[in-house]
Structure 1
Amino acid sequence: MNLPPAPPPLPPEASPVRSTPRAALRRPPPRQPDHHRQMRTRLGFATFGFAVLFGAVAVTLADRTVINPASSAIAQPRPLPRAEPPVTRAEIVDRNNEVLAVTVRGRALYARPAHIQDPEAVAALLHPILPHLDRERLVARLSPPYVFAYIDRFITPRQEEAINALGIVGLNFETAERRTYPRGRDAAHVLGLVDVDNQGLFGAERWFDERLRVDRNALRLSLDIRVQRELRETLAHTVERFSGIGGVAMLMDVNTGEMLGMASLPDFSGADPAGSPPGNRFHRAVEGVYEPGSTMKLLTAAMALELGTVQMHSGFDASRPIRFGRHSISDFRGKNRWLALPEIIAYSSNIASAHMAMTVGTGRHREFLARFGIARHQRLGIELPESAAILLPGERDWRDIHTMTIGFGHGVSITPLHVINSAATLANGGLFRTPTILAQPDGAEREGTRVISERTSHQMRRLMRIAVTEGSARGANAPGYFVGGKTGTALKPNPGGRGYSTDRRVSAFVGVFPMHAPRYAVYLMVDEPRPRADTGPFATAGVVAAPAARRVIERVAPILGLVPETERLAEIEQSLHVPLQPGRPRAPAAAPMAAPRQPAARPAPAIAPSLPEVAPIRRTSLPQGAIQTAEGRHAAP
């Protein structure tokens, strides 16, 4: 039997080894591959790196939140960009906080002529961008010997971009400011203007110049821009209709002296002052001085009532002119008879007014007018620097003839502001308040100086009302508003100062409404109106100013919260009624002894021809020596 061959002997190292417990303990561990060792090394480095990173974060966090929190981005947020500094001049607003004047910031263009090679070529490039500049003057400013010259003080962003695109060396920009007037011509005279350096030139801008530069809070004026616009529109219509050379329209609060509107024509636009002649800046309401004409008769009547020289039933003989040398004082379309006080106001008698003034005397006459701010070189203290002083004879020069002529509104020149303020004082209970353009706190009572009694004020309200219902001012009678007032037409002096013109006049109306509870005074005047075909040969206050005043009242009263009174019409009319010829009151029958009764005022004696002639005495086209007011048949003074 054949057996398989025996296997070859194993090599020594491969010989099987009998496993015993001791041999197993002594066996060395198996060797690992090299890539395992590399992985461990990398993990160690990564662990160390993360430990360092997290440690740095922990240290930084502890420093920012615990050790030094002031530098923490959480505790102190990133500062915002710095705000642009405020403009250097405060706003001006009306009583309802409507902006009237504001300063805006822009850019100014200036030149360094030493760096400009060809001034004419540069001017040729700039002129299409800045066409409002004179080319020859532009060349001069770009040329030596100027070292620095402003080309334009205020340019638009588009103009700045266009000039920058030219790349001209020597032209530079800087931040600039400009005063703008969003309302254009409205209240232009009251606001005034500033110069190129933002300094006030006139008006409120000049009076409050320091206040506007120091206090950045808006300056609130008493004006109501809605009222201001109505005044200007009505005045412009009337001036154009009667071909006048100018005019004034005003509205005043009689209880505070606040001016709610002051319009003067011709005017200018605050947005483009260079577009109007310099003469348009003349503010007729406070700069112009005019003879008030018959509006002055209200003060004459109040003076005589207050000083006790007349009563409501008193009167004077107006049947004959008052002779003075070669001249005389007479009435236009006079009644030629004795007139009671209400008739004197309603029919506007010069003769009776002169007699009434003489019952007071020159000294007391002068003192009474001074109570109302009507004194030689006196200015009303309104916040407008251009306010003019009145023209009045001095104490040494004041004669009887001055008292007589001033009694009916001639021989004295005052501003329209004096007229409306006097009417407000007569109607508000007798308290004189300095007019103001500053808004007063709502509901606050402004102190005043008593110049006449409440009784005299009540009597004057009734006389002012009868002038509108029965006299020359019928055109101002706005139904439901119980207007009272007085017209006044005064011929203007000749340019040479000798005598008066026969065709150049001032026609005005001053009034208050409503007369049973006075709130507002209105004044409207047209300078040198011309007659129209539909008004006949007259351009007097009754046909010119009174209807315009009615239009103003009817348009502004609703704005101010007043509506026509219709329910108590008869009751209110009765409270204001005074007969044209009041009867003399009777003494009480039961009195055991009648008190001595003050005699009725006697007519002043005619002026003797031997008195020296005192100017001014008006000459008109009437027979030589006649002096009268120029009023129409249905529009007495």
Structure 2
Amino acid sequence: MSFLSRIMVVKSKAHFSAGGSNRPGDLNSFVGTRKKSGSQARSRVAIMIVGFTTVYCIIGGRLVQYGLVQPDTVSSIGRADNLMASRPDILDRNGEILATDIRTVSLYAEPNKIVDADEAVEQLSTVLPNLNVADIYNKLKSPSRFQWLRRQLTPKQQSEILALGIPGIGFRPEKRRFYPGGTTAAHVVGHVNVDNRGIAGMERYIDNQGLADLAAIGMTSDAKLEPVKLSIDLRVQNIVRDSVLQAMIEYQAIAAGAVVMDVHTGEILGMASVPDYDPNNPAGGAQDGWMNRMSNGTFEMGSTFKSFTTAMALDSGKVTLKDTFDARFPIRIGGFTIKDFHGKHRVLSVPEIFQYSSNIGTAKMADLVGIDAHKEFLTRMGLLSKMQTELPEVKMPSQPRVWKKINSITISFGHGVSTTPLQTAVAGAALMNGGKLIEPTFLPRTVEQADAIAIRVIKKSTSDDMRYLFRYNAIYGSGKNALVPGYNVGGKTGTADKVVNGRYSHDLNFNAFLAGFPIDNPQYVVLSFIDAPKTGEKGIRTAAGNAAPIVRNIISRSAPLLGVEPKFGQDGSALLVSY
């Protein structure tokens, strides 16, 4: 047998001995091997299932974790829904829009996505030329993930910035407050800040009624809200502002103001104080323009206070219109001398004291009533306490800590107590409407609603006497420059020396005029003031030459709009005829 044949025989034997035998023992060995292989396969599948389940559980857990984590907050940005939250429109009494929302966008940056801060600033400066380059550059290089760059862009600015294609720059939708009338009713309507939150005027009042609290807890939305209607008549408001602005310029004063109020409801139909500002751009008004001198400034109202002193004396029953007082000699008390500006140096009747604005006669009436009764009367008239109304900007009057005789005498003719012009007008309305003190309101109010809150402060007979005196003074006294043919204007001037460095200055006056029309059956009270005028009509620097003409201008232009019919002739039945 050859060598090759031997090798083939050995390999054949080895094959059969390794498992190729058909013996029963060899079959059991084969079955065991298959079972082992199946068990391993099942183990591998189980391991894979467990592995995939673990991975998916980890992923699911992380998703839940991310969902529960609060988003990063940045102090300079509010939530998107807050940025788009609506404010109610503000309307005048006739439905004219005083304030409304418009949609706009604001520019922001994500500094972590800015490729080249220098280039980005340079490109933005081509669209926003007044950009603070250093400030914007620092924002773009900051480690934060969000920075406001410019709030409330115009559509043109947005379009031009989009065309620049700067990475990391984006826009967020917002709402911006728009005031169609601009400066017309600035101090009444007020304004909002950059986040559309009311910070002055009736805008702030609306927020104080709950809108700000709702916004703070995210309960506001961009749904349109029910508008808020004011008592203001935009036509009258425009006349009032135009009149006081014209007077401030013409008479070279530092400030002026006026108000028109319904004597039976307390509704304010127009009120203005200048200098003022544009609520569309509050920063442009500076602090001098933000000051609402009608309700948030206190002044010594001068001889307009003689109206209240006279009413007090008449209401006390100790004085009548037929009584007389000796005004021949000055009053000397506490080192001071009280004298009349245009003294008649004779005995004066009560109407003459009012007509000639006698300090001496008025002081003697106050002295007759007494110090305590004097203070109580002014408190009853609301002149010594903070006025209650919707407008947030209301200042507390000032008065002496202890009332002495000298205080009562000087206060009788308007020195020693400082009040706001608006509350002086409110108290003046009580002298004309039959004796009812009604809190002023910038919201619509009916006569029935006003009567429900009215407080009687003087007798009706006293009010009748005061209307007579107001008309008497307008015809024969210092109120002649306020007369408007057909409208029976009545009123009282007030010229007070201003306090400069703790002393009264004889070169600077605060002038006012308190009026009502038609005075025989008053419907409206008008009060004007002008601060430190250098001149007046015919060069007269007192209230008769500048404060009274403001009232005349307001009444002549607004009375027809308010539906007040003019009357001519002795009985009011005559008509003007044009030939």
Relative to the length of structure 1, the TM-score reads 0.73
* Contact 1:429/1:453, CA 8 A, preserved across alignment: yes
* Contact 1:89/1:212, CA 8 A, preserved across alignment: no
2:412 to 407, 413, 425: 407
* Contact 2:84/2:175, CA 8 A, preserved across alignment: no
1:234 to 243, 246, 260: 243
Q: Which residue is equivalent to 1:392? A: 399
* Contact 2:108/2:170, CA 8 A, preserved across alignment: yes
**Alpha-carbon distance in structure 2 between the residues aligned to 1:325 and 1:562:** 49
Q: Which residue is equivalent to 1:458? A: 464
1:425: how far off?
0.7
**Alpha-carbon distance in structure 1 between the residues aligned to 2:504 and 2:447:** 47
1:471 matches 2:477 = yes
* Contact 1:476/1:483, CA 8 A, preserved across alignment: yes
Give 2:527's aligned amino acid.
Y
1:181 to 157, 179, 182: 179
* Contact 1:250/1:262, CA 8 A, preserved across alignment: yes
* Contact 2:473/2:479, CA 8 A, preserved across alignment: yes
1:313 to 313, 316, 322: 322
1:425 to 420, 424, 430: 430
2:533 to 529, 536, 548: 529
SS where residue 175 of structure 2 aligns?
strand
Alignment of 1:84-233 (within 5 A): 87-211=85-209, 213=211, 216-233=225-242
CA distances 1:229-265 after superposition (whole Å, capped 9, x unpaired): 1111111111111110011111000000001011000
* Contact 2:266/2:450, CA 8 A, preserved across alignment: no
**Alpha-carbon distance in structure 1 between the residues aligned to 2:442 and 2:178:** 20
* Contact 1:285/1:416, CA 8 A, preserved across alignment: yes
CA distances 1:431-459 after superposition (whole Å, capped 9, x unpaired): 00001111125886543110111111111
1:140: how far off?
2.4
CA distances 1:376-426 after superposition (whole Å, capped 9, x unpaired): xx21101111200000123xx111111111111111101001211111110
Alpha carbons of structure 1 residues 142 and 186: separation in structure 2 relative to 1, 3 Å: same
Superposition CA RMSD, Å: 1.9
Give 1:154's aligned amino acid.
Q
Q: Which residue is equivalent to 1:249? A: 258
Give 2:439's aligned amino acid.
T
1:167: how far off?
1.7
* Contact 1:430/1:453, CA 8 A, preserved across alignment: yes
Alpha carbons of structure 1 residues 561 and 502: separation in structure 2 relative to 1, 3 Å: same
* Contact 1:318/1:351, CA 8 A, preserved across alignment: yes
Alpha carbons of structure 1 residues 112 and 508: separation in structure 2 relative to 1, 3 Å: same
Q: Which residue is equivalent to 1:570? A: 570
1:86: how far off?
7.9
1:174: how far off?
1.5
SS where residue 150 of structure 1 aligns?
strand
Give 2:280's aligned amino acid.
A
* Contact 1:90/1:212, CA 8 A, preserved across alignment: no
1:146: how far off?
3.9
**Alpha-carbon distance in structure 2 between the residues aligned to 1:231 and 1:547:** 12
Q: Which residue is equivalent to 2:511? A: 507
1:276: how far off?
2.1
* Contact 1:87/1:104, CA 8 A, preserved across alignment: no
Give 1:96's aligned amino acid.
N
1:284 to 280, 289, 293: 293
1:351 matches 2:349 = no
1:326 matches 2:335 = yes
1:340: how far off?
0.3
* Contact 1:484/1:515, CA 8 A, preserved across alignment: yes
More off after superposition, 443-452 vs 425-434: 443-452
SS where residue 194 of structure 1 aligns?
coil
Give 1:452's aligned amino acid.
I
**Alpha-carbon distance in structure 2 between the residues aligned to 1:325 and 1:278:** 40
**Alpha-carbon distance in structure 2 between the residues aligned to 1:275 and 1:127:** 22
Give 1:543's aligned amino acid.
G
Instruction: For structure 2, list consecutive stretches of 5 or more residues without a partner in the other structure.
Output: 1-82, 215-223, 574-579
* Contact 1:87/1:105, CA 8 A, preserved across alignment: no
1:161: how far off?
2.4
Give 2:468's aligned amino acid.
R
**Alpha-carbon distance in structure 1 between the residues aligned to 2:404 and 2:449:** 43
1:334: how far off?
0.6
**Alpha-carbon distance in structure 2 between the residues aligned to 1:94 and 1:132:** 36
* Contact 1:481/1:565, CA 8 A, preserved across alignment: yes
Q: Which residue is equivalent to 1:4? A: none
* Contact 2:265/2:446, CA 8 A, preserved across alignment: no
Give 1:390's aligned amino acid.
P
2:544 to 533, 542, 552: 542
1:524: how far off?
1.0
Alpha carbons of structure 1 residues 572 and 392: separation in structure 2 relative to 1, 3 Å: farther
1:488 to 466, 488, 494: 494
More off after superposition, 418-427 vs 163-172: 163-172
**Alpha-carbon distance in structure 2 between the residues aligned to 1:468 and 1:152:** 56
SS where residue 521 of structure 2 aligns?
coil
1:199: how far off?
1.4
* Contact 1:212/1:219, CA 8 A, preserved across alignment: no
SS where residue 194 of structure 2 aligns?
coil
Give 1:400's aligned amino acid.
K
Give 1:468's aligned amino acid.
A
CA distances 1:45-78 after superposition (whole Å, capped 9, x unpaired): xxxxxxxxxxxxxxxxxxxxxxxxxxxxxxxxxx
Give 2:245's aligned amino acid.
A
Q: Which residue is equivalent to 1:263? A: 272
Alpha carbons of structure 1 residues 348 and 553: separation in structure 2 relative to 1, 3 Å: same
CA distances 1:255-301 after superposition (whole Å, capped 9, x unpaired): 00001011000000012222222221000001111101000001011
* Contact 2:533/2:541, CA 8 A, preserved across alignment: yes
1:535: how far off?
2.6
* Contact 2:101/2:177, CA 8 A, preserved across alignment: yes
**Alpha-carbon distance in structure 2 between the residues aligned to 1:546 and 1:107:** 48
Q: Which residue is equivalent to 1:625? A: none
CA distances 1:163-220 after superposition (whole Å, capped 9, x unpaired): 2222211111221111111110011011111112211112111122144736921111
1:526: how far off?
0.7
Give 1:414's aligned amino acid.
T
**Alpha-carbon distance in structure 2 between the residues aligned to 1:280 and 1:156:** 26
1:144: how far off?
1.1
CA distances 1:296-345 after superposition (whole Å, capped 9, x unpaired): 00101110111111011011100000012432000012100000000010
> Which structure has the bigger radius of gyration?
1
**Alpha-carbon distance in structure 1 between the residues aligned to 2:140 and 2:287:** 29
Give 2:393's aligned amino acid.
E
**Alpha-carbon distance in structure 2 between the residues aligned to 1:122 and 1:461:** 71
Instruction: For structure 1, list consecutive stretches of 5 or more residues without a partner in the other structure.
Output: 1-84, 574-637
* Contact 2:100/2:179, CA 8 A, preserved across alignment: yes
1:149: how far off?
0.9
Q: Which residue is equivalent to 2:3? A: none
Q: Which residue is equivalent to 1:68? A: none
CA distances 1:34-55 after superposition (whole Å, capped 9, x unpaired): xxxxxxxxxxxxxxxxxxxxxx
* Contact 2:479/2:491, CA 8 A, preserved across alignment: yes
* Contact 2:355/2:473, CA 8 A, preserved across alignment: yes
Identity over the aligned pairs, expressed in percent? 42
Give the number of equivalent residue pairs: 480
SS where residue 137 of structure 1 aligns?
helix
SS where residue 200 of structure 1 aligns?
coil
1:361 matches 2:359 = no
Give 2:386's aligned amino acid.
R
SS where residue 486 of structure 1 aligns?
strand
